[in-house]
Amino acid sequence: MLVEWQSCELIEMNIQIDHIHLIISIPPKISVSQLMGILKGKTAIKIFKSYPQLKKKPYWGNHFWSRGYCVDTIGLDEDKIKKYVIFQEKQERIEEQQSLEFGPL
C-alpha cells in the first residue's frame, strides 16, 4: 500500500461521493504536504489508467483531485475522531434526509 511505502500507517478511512476521510500516522521525516502530494499524484495516475474515460471530464484543471485538503493533528480525542471517520457516511445521509424533510436551515 502507498502509505506503508512511505513508512506511514493508515488507521481509518471512509470514502464519500466527493471526498475521503483518512486517519494516517505519519513519521516526523515526512511532511503532511509531501504525503498528500504523493497520495493525490499516485492515486490520480492509477485512477486515470484504470478509467481513461475520466480524463474527458472537466475536473480541476484536468486534475482528478482538487488542490486543497484539510489536516488536523490528533491528540487526546483520537478515539472520537476515529468514530467520526467511521460513521461519517451514516451521519451525512441522516443530515441529507433531514434537509429534504425540513428544507434548508
**Tens digit of pLDDT for each residue in 76-101?**
577 777 777 777 667 677 777 777 66
pTM of the model: 0.59
Residue bearing the bigger pLDDT, 62 or 46 = 46
The Cα–Cα gap between 95 and 72 comes to 23
Q: How many residues does the chain have?
A: 105
Is residue 51 part of the annotated active site? The answer reads no
Distance between first and last Cα of the chain: 42
Structure-block grid coordinates of residue 46: 492509477
Residue tagged active-site, from 51, 59, 69, 84: 84
Instruction: For residues 63 and 51, give the distance between their C-alpha atoms in angstroms, rounded to a whole number.
Output: 14
pLDDT digits (tens, 9 = 90+) for 21-55: 888 888 888 888 888 888 888 888 888 888 887 77
Q: What are phi and psi of 18, to 5 degrees?
A: -130, 10
Question: What sign results for the dihedral spanned by CA atoms 15, 66, 51, 42?
Answer: negative
Examine the pLDDT at 104 and tell me if it is beyond 60: no
CATH of domain 2-102: 3.30.70.1290
Domain ranges of the chain: 2-102
Reported confidence tier of residue 20, pLDDT bands at 50, 70, 90: confident
- C-alpha distances (whole Å) from 2 to each of 6, 93, 94, 101 are 7, 30, 33, 42
